[in-house]
Amino acid sequence: MLPALDALIALQDLDTRAEAARRRLADAPVKVAALDATLAGATQALDKAKAALAESQAARRELEREASAAEQKVSKYKDQLMQAKDNKQFHALQHEIATFSAEQQRVEELEIGRMLEIDERAAVVKAAEATLAAEKTRVAAEKRALEADAATASAELATLLAGRGEVAKTIDARLLSTYETVAKQRKGTGIARVVDGLCEACRVRLRPHLYNQVRAGDQVIQCESCVRILYWIAPPKTDDAPAEPTPAS
Ligand SMILES: [Zn+2]
């Protein structure tokens, strides 16, 4: 094979790895944002649970006030009962006592309902607090891992780019330019292997004449379909798999 093709294969490998490193670097802030969103969601859930609990507690305090007010009235009318001047007043006071006793009982029942609700909502707050704490720990760990990975990717990228510079120096300027132009047009791949007569990148079958030229490896051939530079590597010979047959010219 032409040394230039070997150099291009090495270049393609470096470029592919560099692209992967770039993608890792670009993905890191996106992943961090997703982690922050998860945390914000857990914080919001806790805030909501706390607000619901506070609402139940305020409602219960209000009921307590109402019950106590009713109780005071009952007690006041009971005192007045002793000093009733006549039967009419006595009955009127008894009526008031019955009314406010009923009111006190009604409010106390509502209070029991609120107390049960407070227990339930307090449990929700506790669970939301536990979830938030667990999420904080998980997010912190994942962020540390992402930071470490980004640092590794950054270092890898620097090494790959330095290596690329060295390899690129050994390639003829026109050939390098062809590779780079094709790579830009073809999702970063400027060179493709030919396997079983097919361009491995675009899966189009080479004409036999072209296939022979690629196999010879003594000139630069581009795929007629995807224009990638083509190369061929002899498959390893095994006992039960015959060598790739040479196509007719
Ligand atoms: Zn092709």
pLDDT on residue 243: 53
- Let me know whether 177 and 164 are in one domain: no
pLDDT on residue 239: 65
pLDDT on residue 100: 97
Work out the percent of the chain whose per-residue pLDDT is above 90.
92
Q: What is the rounded average pLDDT of the residues 238-248?
A: 58
pLDDT on residue 127: 98
pLDDT digits (tens, 9 = 90+) for 125-180: 999 999 999 999 999 999 999 999 999 999 999 999 999 999 999 999 999 999 99
Structure tokens belonging to residue 190: 């400027």
Expressed in angstroms and rounded, the spacing between residue 188 Cα and the centre of ligand 1 is 13
pLDDT on residue 238: 72
Please state, in angstroms and rounded to a whole number, the distance separating the CA atoms of residues 40 and 136.
10
Expressed in angstroms and rounded, the spacing between residue 28 Cα and the centre of ligand 1 is 33
Q: Identity (one letter) of the amino acid at 239? A: D
Structure tokens belonging to residue 166: 């060295």
9 falls within a domain: no
76 falls within a domain: yes
25 falls within a domain: yes
Decide which of 169, 199, 216 is a domain's last residue: 169
66 falls within a domain: yes
- Let me know whether 162 and 225 are in one domain: no
Expressed in angstroms and rounded, the spacing between residue 161 Cα and the centre of ligand 1 is 26
* SS3 state of residue 199: strand
131 falls within a domain: yes
pLDDT on residue 244: 54
| Comparison of pLDDT for 234 and 10, the residue scoring more | 10
Expressed in angstroms and rounded, the spacing between residue 227 Cα and the centre of ligand 1 is 6
- Let me know whether 100 and 123 are in one domain: yes
What is the number of structural domains in the chain? 2
Nearest of 140, 138, 134, 132 to residue 45 by alpha carbon: 132
- Let me know whether 125 and 191 are in one domain: no
Phi, psi of 197 (to 5 degrees): 80, 5
- Let me know whether 89 and 140 are in one domain: yes
- Let me know whether 136 and 206 are in one domain: no
Range of the domain at 179: 173-231
Q: What is the rounded average pLDDT of the residues 50-59?
A: 98
pLDDT on residue 245: 57
147 falls within a domain: yes
- Let me know whether 164 and 185 are in one domain: no
pLDDT on residue 183: 97
42 to each of 35, 36, 119, 131, how far by Cα in Å? 11, 10, 21, 7
Q: Are 121 and 56 in contact (CB under 8 A)?
A: yes
Q: What is the mean pLDDT of the chain?
A: 95
The set of residues, in sequence order, having a beta carbon less than 8 Å from that of 45 and lying 6+ positions away, is: 128, 131, 132
Q: What is the rounded average pLDDT of the residues 6-15?
A: 97
Expressed in angstroms and rounded, the spacing between residue 142 Cα and the centre of ligand 1 is 41
- Let me know whether 98 and 178 are in one domain: no
CATH of the domain at 115: 1.10.287.620
Least confident of 114-128, 159-173, 197-211, 231-245: 231-245
188 falls within a domain: yes
pLDDT band at 248 (very low <50, low <70, confident <90, very high): low
Q: What is the rounded average pLDDT of the residues 234-247?
A: 66
pLDDT on residue 94: 96
Expressed in angstroms and rounded, the spacing between residue 205 Cα and the centre of ligand 1 is 8
Expressed in angstroms and rounded, the spacing between residue 173 Cα and the centre of ligand 1 is 22
- Let me know whether 224 and 139 are in one domain: no
- Let me know whether 160 and 39 are in one domain: yes
- Let me know whether 179 and 155 are in one domain: no
Expressed in angstroms and rounded, the spacing between residue 19 Cα and the centre of ligand 1 is 21
Decide which of 138, 169, 200 is a domain's last residue: 169
- Let me know whether 43 and 152 are in one domain: yes
243 falls within a domain: no
Expressed in angstroms and rounded, the spacing between residue 222 Cα and the centre of ligand 1 is 8
